[in-house]
Amino acid sequence: MMRESRQGGGLRCEMRNYKAVIQYEGTRYRGWQVQGNTENTIQGKLERVLEKMTGVFQEVDGSGRTDAGVHARGQTANVRLNTDMTEEEICRYLN
């Protein structure tokens, strides 16, 4: 949720920290981590979708990495977002 508070005469928006537990079929992907030679990674895909959702780029941090073609179940990731969307709405958008 976006929270606004007035401090020192200015308007400050607070970011919320989100934990995501995800699973994916990684056959088409070049692994988890963003790489300079391809956009086809799980982290990169999540970052692009979140940017489309919020209008602002936010880095997604993964708890671990997978290699090219590897599937995952229970992969944990973290992202900070400034959005009025509920957790359920974010989840639906990402799926």
84 assigned to active site? no
| DSSP collapsed to 3 states, 36-79 | CCECCCHHHHHHHHHHHHHCCCCCCEECCCCCCCCCEEEEEEEE
User: What's the CA gap between 15 and 28, in Å, rounded?
Assistant: 32
- Catalytic residue, chosen from 67, 71, 80, 92, is 67
Active site residues: 67
